[in-house]
Amino acid sequence: MTRPHEDLERHTLTDHHAGGPPVGFAPGAWCAIDVAHVKAARVGAGISTYETLIEKGRTSSAKVRAAAVLRSVNNRRVIALLEIAGHDAFRHLTSAWDDHHLHAERHTVADSRILGLYRVAAVAGDGSFDPGSHDAYAFEHVGCTPERARGLIAAIAAAPGFRGVVVFGADDATTSAVVYRFEHAGQVDAFRGSAAAQRAVGAVGDGGESMSAVHPVRTFG
């Protein structure tokens, strides 16, 4: 009998249970971030796979302390954020996940994946990930150092509807990931189209070409 996360061709999602407590990542925490680009029809399988891998990681050498799985509103991305102990834990996590993907090769879910080690550079407002919230979240990569990405915070915090923001800096300090939290989606769009956002994002990086509207679907506290 196949395990639920392996039976991806038939979209068996019996191990997928949406929900969980609000989860936050404190400044200085090490986090693995995995971004999977998927076909819309396979987003559920992607969520289920990450859920299983995270559950295994909580009892393995990867030592996953807390995690959140995000689904893009257009169902084309699944993003996993995992708090871990640091570099050694990241190596264990990478090895375990690579082994899984080798065994599940004929059940490919993602068109492409980007896994990296980050550290939380800054948090402002309520930066928690809450599956039960009706707030609007957005995730984007910014092509700059975490120090420069912090320059976004003042502009974000001053925008109407602001609820929170988390800045993650890549381990090699060349890129950053930013998660915005606003009261509703229109306010995210208004902020990203504002002159203040254009000045802030333009000053720190690539203009947010990889931004996605997302929502937490599962958390592990």
pLDDT for 62 equals 76
Phi, psi (deg, nearest 5) at residue 2: -75, 150
Distance CA 24, CA 174 (A): 24
Instruction: For residue 13, tell me if it sits in a domain.
Output: no
CB 70 within 8 A of CB 137: yes
Domain with residue 73: its CATH number is: 3.30.70.100
CB 27: neighbour CB atoms within 10 A? 12
Question: What is the mean pLDDT for each group of 10 consecutive residues in the chain (221 residues)?
Answer: 36 58 96 91 87 84 90 94 94 76 47 82 96 94 84 88 95 91 91 74 54 93 89
**How many domains, in total, are found in the chain?**
1
pLDDT at 166: 96
Hey, is 46 helix, strand or coil? helix
Which residue's structure tokens are 């937490």? 216
Domain-embedded: residue 1: no
Give the pair of three-digit tokens for residue 70.
């995000």
Cα separations (Å) of 162 from 56, 76, 159? 35, 25, 6
pLDDT of residue 38: 87
What domain range is 87 assigned to?
27-215
The answer as to whether 105 is a domain residue is yes
Dist CA 203 CA 200 (whole Å):
5
